[in-house]
């Protein structure tokens, strides 16, 4: 028993031993934290590629049969399998896929006849533009409403804000989009309907960055910029309502949780006003939490704007993935899934890294 106690004490002493002086330097700690973050990111991305590849190989769709068609001969079918590498063992197929990914080759989309990489470069910028506009609007309103609701907890204002957030969660997003089109486009004629830009400018303006607002601004055509802005309003409002509902509820819960802490109660007991307690004491302590809330909402918009893009005929990656799934286009499905998953992982990893810098208690 004594030997076990001695061994336990030795282990505890080793664990509590301070780090070497060189590891306590701020620059070294930042470099080590960045290295650990990059290692976790690389492992996660490799896992995403592996899982996605395995799912495509287990799918009931035969890429070779889809390539040659129903009336191809057996020799043509075998030649297609050889060209696609489907006759190789799975490890070699995966290695070949990694090599093509390293060269930026995602295959050829049969639904469009274009390289998947070029299709995704065009569609992902449209989704990124829409999701960014929606998260800026939704986060601004959602954070403000959540803070106000927490400061007026239990009152009429709090009840109204909670009803608004509940409606934002409950209303189907496609129904809200159709309702906005009916009201603001079909009835009031205040805003244009579907699409990303008027046809007049869509086929005459040269794309530079892939973002309609930026390209129309660079083109120097006021009409094109107004068209891009007006087409962006309705889908942005739809997604912003969905985003602000979640951000508002989570922000309210986070602020109320901190207001119940001893430091907040002490500050209020000393006579500090509620606004000062919230903005001076509470918000700095939950900055990492709020950043995580907004980042997760942004990631959900990047990957979940399928219905909004379908209703408004927005040429984003969600709509592109939907069309590819209906067409059974394996290359397009795989490429779009990889891009969406990579964007989600990168955004969450960057958020974790930023939260670790904002809150030293969570730093590793």
220 CB neighbour count, 10 Å cutoff:
8
The pLDDT of 267-283, averaged and rounded, is 85
Element (H, E) at 214: helix 212-219
**133: pLDDT strictly greater than 90:** yes
Please state, for a pLDDT cut of 90, what percent of the chain lies above it.
16
Please give the pLDDT value at position 57. 74
Most confident of 100-114, 133-147, 332-346: 133-147
Average pLDDT of the chain is 81
Residue 284 in tokens:
């700095």
pLDDT band at 287 (very low <50, low <70, confident <90, very high): confident
Question: What per-residue confidence (pLDDT) applies to 99?
Answer: 85
> Taking the C-alpha atoms of 13, 16, 20 and 22 in order, what is their torsion angle to the nearest 10 degrees?
170
Check residue 129 and give its pLDDT. Answer: 92
pTM over 0.85: no
Looking at per-residue pLDDT, the higher value among 198 and 7 belongs to 198
233 pLDDT higher than 90: yes
The alpha carbon torsion through 76, 79, 80, 86 (nearest 10 deg) reads 140
Which of residues 187 and 74 earns the better pLDDT score?
A: 187
Domains for the chain: give ranges and CATH numbers. 116-362 (1.10.3720.10)
With a cut of 90, say whether residue 22 has pLDDT above it.
Answer: no
pLDDT of 179 higher than 70: yes
Q: Is the pLDDT confidence value at 69 over 70?
A: no
Residue for token digits 């899934």?
A: 337
pLDDT of 162 higher than 50:
yes
Here the tokens at position 307 are 């219905």
Strand partners, 115: 108
């Amino acid at each position: 028993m004594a030997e076990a106690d001695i061994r336990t004490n030795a282990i505890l002493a080793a664990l509590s031993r301070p780090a070497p002086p060189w590891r306590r330097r701020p620059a070294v700690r930042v470099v080590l934290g960045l290295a650990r973050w990059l290692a976790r990111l690389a492992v996660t991305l490799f896992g995403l590629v592996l899982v996605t590849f395995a799912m495509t190989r287990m799918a009931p769709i035969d890429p070779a049969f889809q390539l040659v068609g129903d009336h191809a001969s057996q020799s043509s079918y075998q030649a297609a399998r050889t060209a696609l590498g489907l006759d190789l063992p799975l490890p070699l197929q995966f290695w070949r896929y990694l090599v093509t990914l390293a060269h930026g080759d995602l295959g050829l989309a049969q639904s469009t006849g274009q390289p998947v990489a070029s299709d995704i470069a065009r569609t992902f910028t449209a989704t990124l533009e829409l999701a960014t506009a929606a998260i800026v609007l939704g986060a601004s309103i959602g954070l403000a409403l959540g803070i106000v609701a927490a400061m007026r907890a239990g009152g009429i204002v709090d009840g109204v804000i909670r009803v608004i957030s509940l409606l934002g969660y409950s209303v189907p997003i496609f129904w809200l989009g159709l309702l906005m089109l009916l009201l603001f486009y079909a009835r009031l004629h205040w805003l244009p309907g579907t699409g990303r830009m008027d046809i007049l400018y869509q086929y005459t303006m040269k794309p530079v960055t892939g973002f309609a607002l930026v390209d129309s601004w660079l083109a120097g055509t006021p009409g094109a910029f107004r068209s891009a802005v007006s087409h962006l309003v309705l889908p942005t409002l739809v997604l912003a309502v969905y985003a602000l509902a979640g951000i508002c509820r989570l922000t309210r819960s986070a602020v109320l949780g901190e207001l119940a802490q001893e430091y907040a109660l002490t500050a209020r007991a000393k006579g500090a006003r509620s606004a000062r307690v919230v903005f001076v004491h509470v918000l700095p302590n939950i900055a990492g939490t709020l950043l995580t809330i907004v980042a997760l909402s942004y990631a959900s918009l990047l990957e979940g704007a399928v219905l909004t893009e379908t209703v408004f005929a927005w040429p984003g990656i969600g709509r592109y993935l939907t069309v590819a799934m209906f067409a059974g286009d394996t290359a397009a499905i795989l490429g779009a899934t990889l891009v969406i998953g990579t964007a989600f992982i990168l955004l969450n990893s960057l958020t974790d890294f930023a939260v670790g810098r904002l809150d030293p208690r969570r730093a590793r």
